[in-house]
Every structure is written in structure tokens, then in C-alpha cells.
Amino acid sequence: MRIPEIFGSIVNTVSALSPKKTRSVIGNMVRPPLQAIGELNKRASDHSLRARVEEYLSGDIPEYFQNGPIIYSAKYLATPNFETLRFLHITEPLHMRTVITEDTKDLFLPQNQVKRALCKIPICRRITVKEGKAYEHFQKVSIVDFKTAARKPFREITTLWGEPLTDFHTNLLSRFARKKVEIHDDTAWIDRNHRGDLPELYKKFLSLFIVHGVLFEDYSMDDKNEIDFAKQVLQPAFRFVEERFGCRPLIAELVPPSVESDLFWISYPSGTLDVLREKMLRLKK
């Protein structure tokens, strides 16, 4: 399935049905993508700024940043949900190296909606419109044994048919993505940079987006946990980095505030169901 077809038939149509939602908590921390790329290009020749960032990070900059600026998205696992497909779609015309990172050491917590969707796959079968209101129709398919998977690192979880969960999502992404994307595991870097201490980790993390790349991210402000994260972690880390380097981390808006539900963006195209049926058939044999 081609990415433009997905968004031509679903996202663009539905987005036009309702006024935009506001995300005042993150304020002006997030920029339009082209503006962020333009600012990155301006900073590219500032060798002094680059040196200050590298000094602050003690030279601990992931290798994938070394060969020029990148566009970047951080995920628990690299997977072709609609948020990732949008990331690939809107960055394709930029002709820049595209990186998605994972943290395979992170724990699977079923109560976390985003993590849960990696193990109980929500598939968007269709979107209907009635009296100007959009209705999303999902089918959810469990692909792991939740009793044995809960609180395990993602890299230790296997699917019901015996495939490593990380491999399943990587292979699924390769099936849906039409542009070249690099996938890297950031586990070791996170371990070295305050794993478990989010405020300190984010100071280091956001420093990577001063001159080395642009972070594409969606901070949904409809969820209390996201609001708490923004206030307690993101905002303080953002201010720290801005004050230290005299410029703001480059964060580009990944998902525009719109009518789609949060579940839609972590759900999958209908073609995913065909893949899962194939997997389940092997299980029955």
C-alpha cells in the first residue's frame, strides 16, 4: 500500500471535518517542519555551536548523526502505525537522511496506550462520516500473551507465532515504507545518559537537536499523562537547553492538531490485517 494513498483516502478527508484542537501546553516549542529544517540549515555552518554541544555531551553523540544532519523520530519500536507513516510521508520531499530509533530495553506496560498498541494491534478498517462527524472503526488483534509479556523488555517478548516482537514490527515497517529509513536501537545511549531519570535524560536528548538534526514529534495534549510529561519533563529540559546554547532545540510538528483521535495515530492501515492473518495461519499449522 502506498503512503500517499493512505493519507489521500483517510487523513486529509477527515482532518477537514472539524476545527483544530489547541495544544497550549507546549506553546511555541514546536515548529512547522519546513521552518525547523530552514533553521537547521542556518546552524549547520556554526562550528562553535556544534563544538559546545559535543562538549556538553562529552562526545557521546550517536553514530547516525555523524554524516550530516538528519530528520529523526523516536519510538518505543519502529513500526508502521499512521503516525510513523505520516512521518515518512511528510519528510519524503526533504531528501534528507531519515532515522527512526527504538528503545528495545524499555518495558512493556499494558496500561500505556502507545505500548499496548504494539502488542494488541489496532487496525483502522474504515472511517465513516455522518452529519459532519467522523467515526473511526477499529479491529484490535492481540499478537502476544499479555500475561507473560507484561513488564518485560520489548526485546525479550515473542509473538504468539514465535517471532521476536522487535523483528515483527521492523519487518512490518519495511512492508509499508516506500522511502529509505534507517532504524537504530538507542538502548545503549539511553543507558549512558540517565535512563530512568527523564528530566536529566531529556536535557541530553534535546541537545542532539540543536545542530545535528530535527526531531519530529507529536505531543498530544488531550491526555493527562502527556500534559504532566510536558510540564514536568519537556518544558524544563527545553528551557535548560535553550539557556545553555542560546537557541532552541529543533522540534518539528509531526501530527497537526485535528479531528483524528489519539488512537487513530497509533493504529495501522487495513493491510496489516492480511499480514496478521498469514501469521496466525502458520500458528494453527
- The 10s digit of each residue's pLDDT in 57-69 is 999 999 999 888 9
Across 107-111, 117-121, 133-137, 260-264, least confident range? 260-264
Q: Are 128 and 137 in contact (CB under 8 A)?
A: yes
Predicted local distance difference test score (pLDDT) of residue 1: 43
Predicted local distance difference test score (pLDDT) of residue 200: 98
pLDDT confidence bin for 226, thresholds 50/70/90: confident
Across 103-112, 121-130, 206-215, least confident range? 121-130
* Helical spans, DSSP H, in the chain: 3-6, 12-15, 33-43, 47-56, 82-91, 113-119, 146-149, 165-176, 187-192, 198-207, 224-229, 235-245, 262-265, 272-284
Beta strand pairing call for 213-217 and 251-253: parallel
Across 5-19, 67-81, 186-200, least confident range? 5-19
Q: Which residues contact 260 (CB under 8 A, 6 or more apart)?
A: 11, 14, 15, 134, 136
Give the length of the chain: 285
State mean pLDDT over 40-50. Answer: 96
Structure-block grid coordinates of residue 166: 522487535
pLDDT, mean over the chain: 90
Residue 15 reports pLDDT greater than 60: no
pTM of the model: 0.90
pLDDT confidence bin for 259, thresholds 50/70/90: low
